[in-house]
């Protein structure tokens, strides 16, 4: 935490200029272990649901290939991590003194079968105007180009900081927002690192060609509650983490 605090100004500058920054090996070993455990639990539950329905695809999930799984409602350990001192400091660095938990999910590419995920902006999945938010991409396994790490396209090379129209890929159900020739910058880091990028940064990931799964936990934060299109209710979560640089306790959120 002290090392992060010392870098805050430079990291905030990178986030504003490029749209992202990377923190290597900052997640404590105990938190990394609990995230891995919960990820494996949820993959097993999703496969059993596909068995029950007699299908191999549910939404963006492809059996034995790729999974997007939420843990917030079923895992107190994951909720504790989302509201931890570490994540509060990371989110504050990117977003400022007021921060809300917006969304979270595990993203898994299976060994030797995990398929690619095309160029997109996270904001491209929201079909109406909204404030950009922060994605914290946390590998639970060491990541490389071989196992399908994320590649990022800096604002300067994307040619825009704004949300662009995305088109659905009929084969994978992915939303695609960039078709240019730039291959982006692949992120090669150890498990427990945090890749922090704006929801308007283009990113993609390749297939996992290794013998082991590539597991990632994604935590997303916003500087204000992100509401649905009617502005009548939160789109996902809207749980306060910081208000005016002050931590919000669980009892405060329950009031």
Of the pLDDT bands very low, low, confident and very high (cuts 50, 70, 90), residue 172 is low
Distance between terminal CA atoms of the chain?
Answer: 29
C-alpha closest to that of 203 among 123, 93, 102, 112: 123
- Predicted confidence (pLDDT) per residue in 15-39, tens digit: 999 999 999 999 999 999 999 999 9
The count of C-alpha atoms lying within 13 angstroms of the C-alpha of 237, restricted to the half-sphere facing its C-beta, is 23
Region 170-193: what's the mean pLDDT?
Answer: 86
pTM for this model (two decimals): 0.90
* CATH for the stretch 2-253: 2.60.120.620
């Amino acid at each position: 935490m002290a090392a992060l605090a010392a870098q805050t100004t430079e990291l905030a500058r990178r986030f504003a200029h490029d749209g992202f920054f990377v923190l290597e090996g900052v997640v404590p070993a105990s938190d990394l272990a609990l995230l891995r455990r919960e990820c494996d639990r949820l993959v097993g539950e999703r496969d059993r649901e596909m068995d029950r329905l007699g299908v191999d695809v549910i939404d963006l999930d492809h059996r034995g290939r790729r999974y997007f799984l939420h843990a917030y409602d079923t895992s107190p350990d994951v909720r504790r991590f989302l509201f931890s001192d570490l994540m509060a400091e990371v989110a504050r660095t990117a977003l400022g003194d007021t921060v809300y938990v917006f969304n979270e999910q595990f993203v898994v590419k299976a060994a030797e079968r995990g398929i690619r995920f095309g160029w997109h902006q996270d904001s491209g999945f929201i079909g109406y105007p909204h404030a950009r938010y922060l994605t914290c991409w946390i590998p639970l396994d060491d990541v490389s180009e071989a196992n399908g790490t994320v590649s990022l396209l800096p604002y300067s090379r994307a040619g825009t900081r704004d949300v662009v129209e995305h088109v659905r890929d009929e084969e994978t159900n992915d939303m695609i927002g960039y078709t240019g020739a730039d291959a982006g910058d692949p992120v090669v880091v150890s498990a427990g690192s945090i890749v922090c990028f704006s929801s308007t940064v283009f990113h993609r990931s390749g297939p996992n060609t290794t013998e082991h799964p590539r597991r990632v936990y994604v935590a997303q934060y916003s500087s204000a509650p992100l509401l649905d299109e009617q502005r009548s209710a939160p789109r996902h979560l809207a749980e306060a983490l910081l208000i005016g640089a002050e931590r919000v306790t669980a009892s405060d959120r329950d009031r």
